[in-house]
Structure 1
């Protein structure tokens, strides 16, 4: 966190085992959690303060909204040994925690950044598979900022031989009943540095058969696949896409505006309420906006606030 960020915000801490939740409030705000909560979830390797724009957003929110950054057990360098289902279970606990402090029609929105978009979309669209998950509390909306394909990023980052080698080893581990064993460092280090990545999570991200749990934003997904994600968003859920015009992780062959339009089509067919800016690129925005010109960050904050206003009408 920079000195400027720290000087303009108070940071309230909530411990929701095993989650750490940091509530960003402006000086002078009351002690109790805000009426409405924007839960922010980062991407791979992200932890508190590594992405700066949440501080900018929180500084512009109305007094009855707070931005809360969730640090899940998968945050930082721990994402390689967990799953989206595990993340969703932890997010559910956070939603329940903040609901305890809310009254009436108070809102909770999940905002995902990068791979955090998978968490946000999985939260609202994944089937409830067991008795505990059937109690997953509903949220009022989701914001997907920088939703990109981890599979296509791997294709761009690794030589075909190296990617195939990783897939073969991971599939062998699965066949041997070892889904939670980590792949050799020689396989994962070139792209994921020195962290452990299980066979299960590698295949979820690399998705060689197109069935990886994390594979939600690839450019070649079928209508059936999009129907299981965007097409399964609960009716009435508000949705906003925020894709950057200079996102360095979007493959050159991909037209993000065309894909936002396709995602929007499936979401609307399911009954989601789309924000009107959801098919407009955020001009000049890189993947996480760190170091981007202030007008770009201001436009991001403006769209987020417009989305939250939409929930109140």
Structure 2
């Protein structure tokens, strides 16, 4: 079906091929400078790809002359996430960081939106993190619980049934087999493996993607936020009107808990610029200039301090 409302968009930039099949699009900055040697590598969420997160281009234009932004296109971009994993994402992101290290002598910050937030924390704290190419900072925006969000979109009995089917497939060695579209097609119109569905929605609260649920224990959070390296500062930005956050979840309290856990583990969180962006939707689509500018101000403040 043709999208008759879409008017098209043109953005100047450079396409960087960092593996045989993957690339990153570096936006050409409005303020050109020969000293633009620092870069943000931006990673979107489920179904995201190039230009699908509205504020990414705005942020690229707002950066100071010494910074540019590149959007990484991974195997999990667009509809590929259903048959991918966080571990595959961070392996590919490590290749991306390594590539930009070879051509830019400055700082590299990894910024994630939505599920891209899991990628940032997986990169810094997940299995094998000590072998990944180092970064100078991490930004996470709109970190949400996929497990809790799914319960707002699907009937609880249906979720229970799909989880049981997925678990049976995993137990039988069919981890990478695709769940029937009749079960999940209403919210996930793409192929989703049994393993990836449980990673997002496991009722045991132990899915690989389950980083940000409000009901996680302190012990679980110590393995993520509590294991952040002191050498890599992070900034946490939550959306105050995120449509994927359950109504009974207070983002300010959630943020305060994550920061407390990170600090107890000696992690370095930029508390001056981290915060809840009041009025912001999940990806800031349709938000006012003041809301978008709040995001820009916080990101620029973080970059200026690393």
**Do Structure 1 and Structure 2 share a fold, with TM-score over 0.5?**
yes
Question: C-alpha offsets along residues 177-219 of structure 1, whole Å, 9 cap, x if unaligned?
Answer: 01000001111102112x1100110000002111100001000
Q: Which runs of 5+ in 1 are unaligned?
A: none
- For 1:152-231, list aligned pairs within 5 A: 152-193=148-189, 195-231=190-226
Q: Which residue of 2 is the match for residue 267 of structure 1?
A: 262
Q: Give the equivalent residue in structure 1 for 2:147.
A: 151
Separation in structure 2 between the aligned mates of residue 16 and residue 55 of structure 1, nearest angstrom: 21
Change (3 A) 1:221 1:33: farther
**What residue is the counterpart of 1:54 in the other structure?**
56
Please state how far the C-alpha of 1:279 moved relative to its aligned partner. 5.3
After TM superposition, the structure 1 = structure 2 runs for residues 271-310 of structure 1, keeping only pairs within 5 Å, are: 271-277=266-272, 280-310=275-305
Shift of 1:270: 2.5
Counterparts of 1:278 and 1:162, CA distance in 2: 40
- 1:274 match: secondary structure: coil
Which residue matches 2:3?
Answer: none
Q: Distance in 1 between matches of 2:295 and 2:222?
A: 28
Which string of whole-angstrom CA distances, capped at 9 and with x for unpartnered residues, describes residues 14-66 of structure 1? 01123220001224636x89311101100000111111101111111111111
Distance 1:145 1:44 in 2: 14
TM-score scaled by length of structure 2: 0.93
SS in 1 for 2:216: coil
Give the secondary-structure state (helix, strand or coil) at the position aligned to 1:243.
strand
Q: Which residue of 219, 230, 240 maps to 1:245?
A: 240
C-alpha offsets along residues 205-258 of structure 1, whole Å, 9 cap, x if unaligned? Answer: 002111100001000000111011101111121111111111111100101111
> Structure 2 unaligned runs (5+)?
1-5
CA contact (8 A) 1:236 1:271 kept: no
Task: Choose from 86, 94, 98 the match for 1:92.
Answer: 94
Q: Hey, what's the Cα distance between the residues in 1 that align with 2:272 and 2:143?
A: 15
Partner-residue secondary structure (3-state), 1:111? strand
State the TM-score, normalizing by the size of structure 1.
0.91
Question: Offset at 1:4?
Answer: 9.7
* Ranges of 4+ aligned residues in structure 1 off by more than 4 Å: 2-5
